[in-house]
Amino acid sequence: MSQVRVLVGTRKGAFILTADGKRQQWDVSGPHFAGWEMYHLKGSPVDPNRIYASQTSGWYGQIIQRSDDGGKTWIQPGTPPGEPPAPGPPKAASNKFVYDTSAETGKPLTTHQFYDGTQHPWEFKRVWHLEPSLTDPDTVYAGIEDAAIFRSTDGGENWHELPGLRGHGTGPKWQPGAGGMCLHTIILDPSSRTPETQRMWIAISAAGAFRTDDGGKTWEPINRGLYSQYIPNPTAEIGHCVHHIAMNPKRPGVLFMQKHWHVMRSDDAGDNWTKISGNLPTDFGFVIDVHAHEPETIYVVPIKSDGEHFVHEGKLRVYRSRTGGNEWEALTKGLPQSNCYVNVLRDAMAVDSLDKCGIYFGTTGGQVYVSGDAGDCWAPIVRDLPGVLSVEVQTLP
Of 13 and 285, which has the nearer Cβ to other proteins? Answer: 13
Q: Which is nearer to other proteins, 81 or 397 (CB)?
A: 81
Answer for the pair 269, 236: CB distance below 8 angstroms, yes or no: no
Closest separation in Å from C-beta 33 to other proteins? 8
Judged by beta carbon, residue 176 or residue 285, the one nearer other proteins is 176
CB 143 within 8 A of CB 131: yes
Residue 97 C-beta: closest distance to other proteins, Å: 9
Nearest approach, Cβ of residue 225 and other proteins (Å): 39
* Burial (CB count within 10 angstroms: exposed 0-12, middle 13-18, buried 19+), residue 229: exposed
Q: How far is the CB of 89 from other proteins (least distance, A)?
A: 6
Closest CA to 43 of 12, 18, 69: 69
**Which residues make beta-bridge pairs with 266?**
255
Residue 121 Cβ vs other proteins, minimum distance, rounded to whole Å: 11
262 phi-psi bin (left φ>0, alpha ψ -120 to 50, beta other): left
Nearest Cα to Cα of residue 5 among 44, 36, 35: 44
Name which of 36 and 299 has its Cβ closer to other proteins. Answer: 36
CB of 138 to other proteins, least distance (A): 20
How far apart CA 170 and CA 192 sit, in angstroms, is 26
**Of 22 and 91, CB closest to other proteins:** 91
To the nearest whole angstrom, how small is the minimum distance from the Cβ of residue 215 to other proteins? Answer: 26
Residues near other proteins (CB under 8 A): 34-36, 57-63, 76, 85-92, 95-96, 98
**Please, which residue, 34 or 178, has the CB nearer to other proteins?**
34
H/E element holding 290? strand 284-290
Residue number, 52 or 360, with CB nearest to other proteins = 52
β 284-290/27-32 pair status? unpaired
Q: How far apart are CA 35 and CA 254, in angstroms?
A: 38
What CA–CA distances, in Å, run from 352 to 133, 341, 361, 373, 374? 18, 26, 12, 11, 10
| Residue 70: Cβ within 10 Å count | 18
Q: Which is nearer to other proteins, 93 or 254 (CB)?
A: 93
Q: What is the DSSP letter of 347?
A: B
Under DSSP, the state recorded for 312 is: G
CB of residue 270 to other proteins, shortest distance in Å = 34
Residue 267 corresponds to which amino acid?
A: D
Closer CB to other proteins, residue 11 or residue 322?
11
Give me the least distance between CB of 13 and other proteins, in Å please: 11
Cis link prior to 77 (omega < 30° from 0)?
no
Determine the Cα angle at 71 with ends 74 and 203, to 5°: 90
